[in-house]
Structure 1
Amino acid sequence: MPRFGSASLSRARPAALATWLIVVVAMIVGIVVVGGITRLTNSGLSITEWKPITGIVPPLNDAQWQAEFANYRRIPEFREINSAMTLSGFKAIFFWEYVHRALARTIGLVFALPLLWFWVRGQIPRGYLPRLIALLALGALQGAVGWWMVKSGLAVRTDVSHLRLAAHLMTALVTLAGITWTALDLLALCRDGYARPALLRPVAIVALGLLAVQILWGAFTAGLDAGYAFSSWPLMGDALFPSGVPMLSPGWRNGIDNPVVVQFIHRWFAFVAAGGLVVLALCARRAGSNAGYVVKALVLVQIVLGIATLLTGVRIEIAVAHQANAALLLIAAVTAAHAVGRRRA
């Protein structure tokens, strides 16, 4: 019998594990895109129940569709915003939320079942099992946070809490970053059986921290529909910051609850985050990694997409591309950080 999670160099299959994790990374990017579409089409509250097992089966006949629609008609979003919605319109928003949930379940299976297979066969390199189990637990937490987010819009509000939306997105992206880093460590192990996991250097901590702050305020912007507040750039209307904006009390709440202030922070902190990422990219180049070039290119694309999102009044294709590129930028930044933190065997 193999000693689970303690594979010797001869039994370990780091290449296979890395390939599996790269597939999971691609799927997470996909669900980030679908999540963005779900949010932008206001589809997130169309399914009002959480059924982790039976929920994978969509309505299959008219009676089941009518039952789902009846559940939706009970929540404030329908009563106050969509009271004229027909069953056909409901099916359209149901589609995106269903795809989002189905993809989440699929990702869970694609992570859990191969992990069990590699574990039972003793093919996980020594020291990696705890990390993989932690990533699986983080994925499970993501599902719980998703339902916690949806619940916030079922009783009193007509939408989900932007704070819970931010928690949902950040949990997904932390998971994405962790899986990417682990895949890179395993790829290094493929090249050298005695390679040690990379370290997170200070320059990488700062750059990734700045990117995380920018993504967090992007989530606040999405959750508050703050992107619609001003559709001009670089000015907000005819000023850098518009006058006469009603402010909340205490003052700190404006940074997370006031749509105008949130948009202002998101549009200008982008350049602070970009500066940190460019420094990381230069360090990665000095470490011999081409990831630095990718980081700089994606930073430029992200800024252009962000401005275009504003100027087009949050046109859905551009806004979704902006969110998708953020996920790709995170992957590139993690790859650059990993290159900076590589250690000799």
Structure 2
Amino acid sequence: MAISRYTNYDRQVAGWLILCAVVIFGMILLGGVTRLTNSGLSIVEWQPIIGIVPPLSEQAWQAAFDKYRQFPEYQKINHGMSLDDFKTIFMYEYLHRLLGRLIGVLFFLPMLYFGLRGRVRAGMMPRLWLLFLLGACQGLLGWYMVKSGLVDNPHVSQYRLTAHLGLAVLIYAWMLWLIFELLGGRPARGQQPHRYARWGLGLAILVFLMILSGGLMAGTHAGFTYNTWPLMGESFVPQGLYAGDPAWLAMFEDITTIQFNHRMFAYLLFVLIHVFALLLWRSGLGLRARVATVLLLAALWLQLALGITTLLQHVPVGLGVAHQGGAVLLLSAVLYATHVLRKPSRSHL
């Protein structure tokens, strides 16, 4: 009876987490829009409470615009911008912040409800609280990132932008893993994961690092250079890689090195994921493993096509956002495959 009750509660909690994960995925996409439209520095104050209300009158809009005009982005990049153009970039950043607040409410209140009603399995509540704290840190990190661009050089730090993106993806990935556990269950005591499960975990880490590499691409605008493929300009290996002193710093700050590394990372993952997919298909774990294989390969090829097209088209907003979303979908597919391998069905033990 207790097992049946908790199984039903697990579905309820999983349903709530699925909703949260979908909204976080949308938040990641909106963050890409905000970045690619250069809207992130349009709101020059951080007001967690009163900032929920946008300008509602022409006078309020003008006051917000006047504040923006006091900062270097307007003075050095957008000088002469009209109020109507300002409203556009303001709304992208406003909606990004508003959705962040909505996610906090959407997560916190149901978490309290499920916790107080005893509908969360033992051991799950601390992980939910940690997710909430990470979400709060994400809000602070977002403002810390924006502050780096409200200076004489009106561009946000690529390090802070990458950290902001990485934490968002980490929260999403962990939430997705909890969903898999709630719906698919954890391995039974004494049950050993499939021998390929470590491959899945390793690939998940590599895909996450690839996403961080994409954050560096976005933060340095490296995608707007070398818009050719498979060559970078006139050669596969461009000149000037790891130039500077110290040389290792180039992988974080030199646009040629950053884009080259991003491409090499993609080629490596392309090979490794195909090998992993073959092992998964031949693992003998039945339908779930085959479904996971198909999803994994579909996500990989979609991401490959999006990446090449985005580069060749000089990073238009729609394709750039789709490419960012495709990376998260690929990570989701790797995590699902890993969960299948970590909890093989009893008939295949």
Give me the TM-score of the superposition, normalised by structure 1.
Answer: 0.92
Cα gap change, 1:17/1:116 in structure 2, threshold over 3 Å: closer, same or farther? same
What SS class does the counterpart of residue 277 from structure 1 fall into? helix
What SS class does the counterpart of residue 122 from structure 1 fall into? coil
- Cα root mean square deviation, aligned: 2.3
Segments of 5+ residues of structure 1 without an aligned counterpart are 1-7
Give structure 1 regions of 4+ aligned residues with deviation exceeding 4 angstroms: 192-200
By how many angstroms is 1:37 displaced?
Answer: 0.6
Q: Distance in 2 between matches of 1:149 and 1:38?
A: 13
By how many angstroms is 1:333 displaced?
Answer: 1.3
| AA partner of residue 264 (structure 1) | F
| AA partner of residue 312 (structure 1) | Q
Cα gap change, 1:87/1:26 in structure 2, threshold over 3 Å: closer, same or farther? same
1:139 matched residue in structure 2: 135
1:62-211 alignment runs, 5 A limit: 62-189=58-185, 201-211=197-207
What SS class does the counterpart of residue 258 from structure 2 fall into? helix
Cα gap change, 1:244/1:122 in structure 2, threshold over 3 Å: closer, same or farther? closer
By how many angstroms is 1:279 displaced?
Answer: 3.7
What SS class does the counterpart of residue 127 from structure 1 fall into? coil
1:260-279 alignment runs, 5 A limit: 260-279=256-275
Q: Quick check: 1:217 aligned with 2:213? A: yes
What SS class does the counterpart of residue 304 from structure 1 fall into? helix
What SS class does the counterpart of residue 38 from structure 1 fall into? helix
Residues 19-71 of structure 1: per-residue CA shift (max 9 Å, x gap): 11111111111011111110000000001111111111100011211111111
What SS class does the counterpart of residue 38 from structure 2 fall into? coil
1:185-334 alignment runs, 5 A limit: 185-189=181-185, 201-243=197-239, 247-285=243-281, 286=283, 287-288=285-286, 289=288, 290-334=291-335
| AA partner of residue 47 (structure 2) | K
Q: Distance in 1 between matches of 2:262 and 2:240?
A: 20
Q: How many residues align?
A: 337
What SS class does the counterpart of residue 47 from structure 1 fall into? coil
Cα gap change, 1:193/1:242 in structure 2, threshold over 3 Å: closer, same or farther? closer
Residues 66-94 of structure 1: per-residue CA shift (max 9 Å, x gap): 11111111111111100111111100100
Q: Distance in 2 between matches of 1:280 and 1:245?
A: 31
Cα gap change, 1:127/1:86 in structure 2, threshold over 3 Å: closer, same or farther? same
Residues 240-285 of structure 1: per-residue CA shift (max 9 Å, x gap): 1333579221100111100111011111210212233334434444
How high is the sequence identity, in percent, across the aligned residues? 41
What SS class does the counterpart of residue 58 from structure 1 fall into? coil
By how many angstroms is 1:331 displaced?
Answer: 1.3
By how many angstroms is 1:11 displaced?
Answer: 4.8
